Amino acid sequence: MNAILQFLHPLIDPASIPFLLWTTLAKSIGLLCIVLVMVSYTVYAERRVSSLIQDRLGPNRTGFPLSLFGNLFGIKWRDWSPILGGLGQPIADAVKLLLKEEFTPAFVKKFYFWIAPGLGIGAAIVSLAVIPFGSKIWGVDMVIANIDIGPLFVFAISSLGVYGIVLAGWSSNSKYPFLGAVRSTSQLISYELSLGLSVVPLFMIVGKLNLVDLVSYQVQNGWMILPGITAAKPHLPGTLGSYLIIVPILISFIVFTIAMFAETNRLPFDLPEGETELVGGYHTEYSSLKFALFFLGEYTAMITGSSFIVTLFLGAWHFPGIPEGGAPSLAGLLLGFVNIGVFFVKVIAFLLFFIAIRWTLPRFRYDQLMKLGWIYFFEIALVNIFLTALILAFVP
């Protein structure tokens, strides 16, 4: 094992390999646990927030005893049970999906039909590996793989997710999944471009392609979209360039956010599914656990996307007033966990934004979608790069 690692990474100190191994393993398992719980509760939040927006109550029955909050400790609380009940819903959903009949239609291409759901969720989970989800705990960076090509890795892996959809649609051997898959492929390919191009300005400003470096830049100089929010420098650096640079960052934030909606197949860009037009889209022929994997993959992709936006634009784990943890002491340890908490709070806030947008905007027509992607966002992102370059080069 050591020999393999030495071969892969010759600069590594052989003595630190066991430490590296077990910390990476612990981080992976920890992050996976957090994310999978978050996924199941994102599904619940989606249903609940959707219904609250539509003046309904949503699933409020499958509760832990928590739904008895009405008279906890004998104090007369406001009756929260219509709001808080139903927290056991994800468990009930999982049990239901597990116990359903696993039905594989006779006309499908079996091999691809079986690997497609795994590809979708796999791609979404793997791209979480490079995201710095916390500062440091006991001197260990809270990122599973601190590699120098962070965003490229995310784009490369998350575009593999389209294979899950394409294979599902093609192997289902039936018309609606196929149409869904074709739409999805063209959509993802179109928006991948503006997604990739829109983050280039950030890395031009920072000068490095490492997400951890990007985050430490934001800690020192303020969040990307809100410069000046920092503990180190409570005031803005007064140069003209530092103000002007906000413009391209805002443009790239908007383009990136919208492209991320398209990448995760969320409304208003959910054409691959388009319930009203395509029955269920690419997963029409799937049932039981395979359907659940698609479903979870979609929500994991949402979480990955939100984490990526939070890392790039919203200062990742940094919050003004909360110092960086990581010192080998109790306070440092606690601060490290607080930093992780801040990161996930931001991610959750963004997920709620995802959900709110879902009930705000109607689905785009297909030609509008293509026009938006190719004629507007691609050009805007491209021009934005030049704008950033000009500001960086000529405005002090």
Footprint of another protein on this chain (CB under 8 A)? 49, 52-57, 78, 82-83, 254, 356-357, 359-361
Q: How far is the CB of 346 from another protein (least distance, A)?
A: 18
Contact assessment for residue 103 and residue 288, using Cβ atoms and an 8 Å cutoff: yes
Q: Which two tokens stand for residue 108?
A: 């499908």
SS3 317: coil
Q: Based on CB atoms, which residue is closest to another protein, 55 or 367?
A: 55
Residues 6+ apart with CB under 8 A from 73: none
Contact assessment for residue 14 and residue 8, using Cβ atoms and an 8 Å cutoff: no
Q: Based on CB atoms, which residue is closest to another protein, 36 or 53?
A: 53
Q: Based on CB atoms, which residue is closest to another protein, 72 or 361?
A: 361
Q: How far is the CB of 376 from another protein (least distance, A)?
A: 9
Q: How far is the CB of 319 from another protein (least distance, A)?
A: 23
DSSP conformational letter for 322 = B
Q: How far is the CB of 60 from another protein (least distance, A)?
A: 8
Q: Based on CB atoms, which residue is closest to another protein, 180 or 268?
A: 268
Q: Based on CB atoms, which residue is closest to another protein, 53 or 392?
A: 53
CA distances from 275 to 238, 272, 296 (A): 52, 9, 18
Contact assessment for residue 226 and residue 249, using Cβ atoms and an 8 Å cutoff: no
Q: Based on CB atoms, which residue is closest to another protein, 156 or 356?
A: 356
Q: How far is the CB of 165 from another protein (least distance, A)?
A: 26
Name the nearest CA neighbour of 133 among 320, 353, 348, 299.
Answer: 348
Q: Based on CB atoms, which residue is closest to another protein, 334 or 361?
A: 361
Q: How far is the CB of 234 from another protein (least distance, A)?
A: 30
Name the nearest CA neighbour of 37 among 389, 356, 344, 373.
Answer: 344
Cα(94)–Cα(248) distance, integer angstroms: 44
Give the pairing of strands 140-141 and 136-137.
antiparallel
Q: How far is the CB of 53 from another protein (least distance, A)?
A: 5
Sign of the alpha-carbon torsion through 326, 328, 334, 337:
positive
Number of Cβ within 10 Å of residue 241's Cβ equals 13
Q: Based on CB atoms, which residue is closest to another protein, 200 or 258?
A: 258
Q: Which two tokens stand for residue 176?
A: 């609606």
Q: How far is the CB of 38 from another protein (least distance, A)?
A: 20
Q: How far is the CB of 257 from another protein (least distance, A)?
A: 11
Crossing angle between the packed helical segments 288-313 and 150-171, to the nearest 10 degrees: 160
Q: Based on CB atoms, which residue is closest to another protein, 61 or 233?
A: 61
**227: phi then psi, degrees, rounded to nearest 5:** -65, 145
Contact assessment for residue 137 and residue 333, using Cβ atoms and an 8 Å cutoff: yes
Cα(188)–Cα(123) distance, integer angstroms: 14
